[in-house]
Structure 1
C-alpha cells in the first residue's frame, strides 16, 4: 500500500513521526511536505495529498495540521476524496468501515503522538464494510457530481 502524506507547519513534526511509523510497517510513503516549521498554508498540502489519492498515484492519504480541520476541508475539495478528521480509534474505524474514508486527517495540537499512531494503525487496518454503506457512499458521489463542472 502506498500512502500520501502532507502537513503544514503545525503538523510537520507529527507528519515526520507518522511517516517513520508507516515505513517501519513496510508501507511505501510519498511525502508532499512541508518539511519545515516555518509558517505555510495548509490548503497546498491538503490538495497535493488529495490529488495523489484521487488520481490513483497513492492508495490512501494522511494530512495533518494543528487541528486537522482546515487541511481536511482542503483535501475534501478534491473530487473523489472522503477525508475524515479522527480524534480516537473508534472514529478511525468507523471512517473506514462505514464511510470508506480514503484520507485521514489528524490534529497535531489535539493528539499526542501515541494516540495518533493508534489512530493511524486502526485506520489502515480497517476495511470498508460495503453493503448498505456503499449506497451512502454512492449518494455522496452523486452530490459531488451534481456540483462538479464538467
Structure 2
C-alpha cells in the first residue's frame, strides 16, 4: 500500500515511529516532512494533501502536537476528508462511515502504541457505501 506521512516538529517523533512500522510491514511510505526542524503545520498539511489528491498515495497520516491544527488545515484542501482520531473506534469509523483519506494524531497527546493500533484499525476497515456514500458526497460538495 502507498501511504504518505507528514508532521510538524510537535508530531515528528510519532510520525517517525509510524513511518518505520509501516515500512517494516512492507508499505511504500512517502515522507513530506518535517525532519525534526521547526515548521508550520499548514505547510506540511498542504504538501501531504497534494500527494493524496494527486492519487500518489492511498491515504495520508498527519501528526502535530495535538492533531487539531494539522487536521483543520488538511480539511481546507478540496478532496480531503481528514479525521482526527483518538481511539480505534473513531479510526475505524473514519474509514467505514466517512471514507477519510487522511487520519491525524497528536504527538503530544497519544503514545506510539495507541497510534499504531488506530492506524491498524483504519487500514483494516473498508468504506461501507450506502447512506454513508451519500453523506460523503454531501461533505465533498461543501
Shorter chain as denominator, the TM-score bin is over 0.9
The structure that has the greater radius of gyration is 1
CA distance in 2: counterparts of 1:78 and 1:57, whole angstroms: 16
Q: What residue is the counterpart of 1:20 in the other structure?
A: 20
Moved over 3 A (4+): none
Distance, in Å, in 2 between the alignment partners of 1:79 and 1:142 is: 9
Supply the distance in 2 between the matched residues of 1:113 and 1:93 (Cα, whole angstroms): 17
Q: Which ranges in structure 2 are unaligned for 5 or more consecutive residues?
A: none
Q: Which runs of 5+ in 1 are unaligned?
A: 144-150
Contact 1:50 1:76 in 2 (8 A): no
The offset of 1:39, in angstroms, is 2.2
Give the SS at the match of 2:15: helix
- What does residue 34 of structure 1 align with? 34
User: 1:10 maps to what in 2?
Assistant: 10
Structure 2 equivalent of residue 96 of structure 1: 95
Aligned length: 142
Per-residue CA distance 1:76-101 (angstroms, 9 max, x = gap): 11110000000100000110000000
Any idea what the Cα deviations from partners look like across 1:115-146, whole Å, max 9, x if unmatched? 01101111111110001100001111121xxx
Distance 2:13 2:98 in 1: 28
1:46, 1:63 within 8 Å by CA — same for their partners in 2?
A: yes
Map 1:54-93 → 2, pairs under 5 A: 54-93=53-92
TM-score, normalising length: structure 2: 0.97
